[in-house]
């Protein structure tokens, strides 16, 4: 009977005398390793060995850094990123835990730390946030914009919601007659998009108010450009479109081509030549999220492509 109540595993353990100072030793280790940086323990009021001050870590010089036996580039950015990825590579006794950052995360944290500097940064290198826009359209146009809630979908000079297109330079982009005809019968240039401009059944007078105001206010003078269009330039542009740059892989003309961008069948009746030229030269300058490739066109190539596209009416 007695053998049934014997724990043989316990009997195999060596004799052990508890250390009465374990509690105090544990608190000391807790403070030494700054566990209080993440965990609260009522018995501990502070840490005995904090990590280095990071307020101006971005100003730290390379000669102030102990790179240990590592073979990394002896620069502050390299040190910070390596420290984040492998905290104890510089010293085995370091207490910083390994957070298993990805390479991208370590880069992001390193950049944030480098920004903590007491060095004077030249004004030309400082990126400041844009001031808040408070564009409020006036007159009959402003009344129509308010009644039709146009700014719930469109941005106008920095004010509104970017659900549909930004109208701030619309009159430098689209031709006046096309703008007015579009208000008369709205349609989607891209059938694959879910957003649709509703038909508000506007009167001719209301359409004229909208079109005339946009033609005077929503313009960018720098987009004006006169292009002398002739047969040779159009022919060259056609070759650039179909052969050199393969624009038909994204755009459709005459029912042939891709669906990525809008069809270009009547682009010559829709867009201003100046807009076409500047858009081809640098698409992201006007729409940063555009997937239109920047083909690094010369002015002559952009003019030739513009000449060809303006013939599509």
Q: What is the rounded CA–CA span in Å between residue 287 and residue 270?
A: 18
pTM of the model: 0.59
Alpha-carbon distances, residue 126 vs 55, 60, 111, 121, 242 (angstroms):
19, 20, 15, 7, 43
Helix (H, G, I), strand (E, B) or coil at 15: coil
Q: Identify the CATH number of the domain defined by range 139-219.
A: 1.10.760.10
pLDDT < 50 stretches in the chain: none
**Do the domains at 139-219 and 223-310 have one common CATH topology?**
yes
Model pLDDT, residue 118: 87
223-310 has which fold?
A: Cytochrome Bc1 Complex; Chain D, domain 2 (1.10.760)
The residue extents of the domains of the chain are 63-125, 139-219, 223-310
What residues contact residue 89 under an 8 Å CB cut-off, 6+ apart? 68, 70, 82, 83
Model pLDDT, residue 216: 95
Model pLDDT, residue 11: 56
Model pLDDT, residue 130: 73
Q: What is the rounded CA–CA span in Å between residue 245 and residue 257?
A: 13
C-alpha count within 13 angstroms, C-beta hemisphere, residue 75: 6
Model pLDDT, residue 143: 96
Model pLDDT, residue 133: 74
Model pLDDT, residue 2: 54
Residue 174 burial (CB < 10 Å; 0-12/13-18/19+)? buried
Model pLDDT, residue 9: 57
């Amino acid at each position: 009977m007695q053998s049934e109540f014997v724990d043989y595993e316990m009997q195999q353990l060596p004799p052990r005398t508890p250390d009465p100072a374990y509690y105090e030793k544990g608190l000391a280790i807790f403070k030494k390793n700054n566990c209080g940086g993440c965990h609260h323990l009522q018995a501990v009021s502070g840490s005995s060995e904090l990590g280095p001050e990071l307020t101006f870590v971005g100003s730290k010089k390379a000669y102030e850094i102990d790179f240990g036996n590592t073979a990394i580039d002896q620069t502050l950015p390299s040190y910070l990123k390596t420290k984040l990825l492998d905290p104890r590579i510089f010293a085995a006794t370091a207490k910083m835990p390994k957070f298993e950052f990805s390479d991208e995360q370590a880069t992001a944290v390193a950049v944030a730390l480098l920004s903590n500097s007491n060095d004077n940064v030249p004004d030309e290198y400082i990126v400041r946030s844009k001031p808040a826009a408070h564009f409020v359209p006036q007159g009959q146009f402003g009344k129509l914009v308010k009644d039709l809630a146009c700014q719930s979908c469109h941005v106008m000079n920095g004010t509104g919601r970017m659900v549909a297109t930004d109208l701030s330079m619309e009159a430098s982009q689209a031709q006046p007659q096309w703008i007015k005809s579009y208000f008369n019968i709205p349609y989607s240039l891209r059938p694959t998009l879910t957003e649709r401009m509703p038909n508000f059944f506007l009167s001719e007078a209301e359409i004229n108010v909208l079109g005339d105001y946009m033609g005077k206010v929503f313009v960018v003078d720098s987009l004006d450009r006169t292009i002398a269009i002739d047969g040779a330039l159009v022919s060259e542009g056609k070759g650039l479109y179909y052969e050199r740059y393969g624009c038909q892989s994204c755009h459709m003309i005459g029912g042939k081509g891709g669906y990525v961008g809008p069809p270009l069948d009547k682009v010559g009746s829709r867009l201003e030549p100046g807009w076409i030229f500047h858009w081809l030269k640098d698409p992201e300058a006007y729409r940063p999220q555009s997937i239109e490739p920047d083909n690094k066109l010369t002015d002559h190539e952009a003019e030739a492509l513009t000449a060809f596209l303006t013939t599509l009416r």
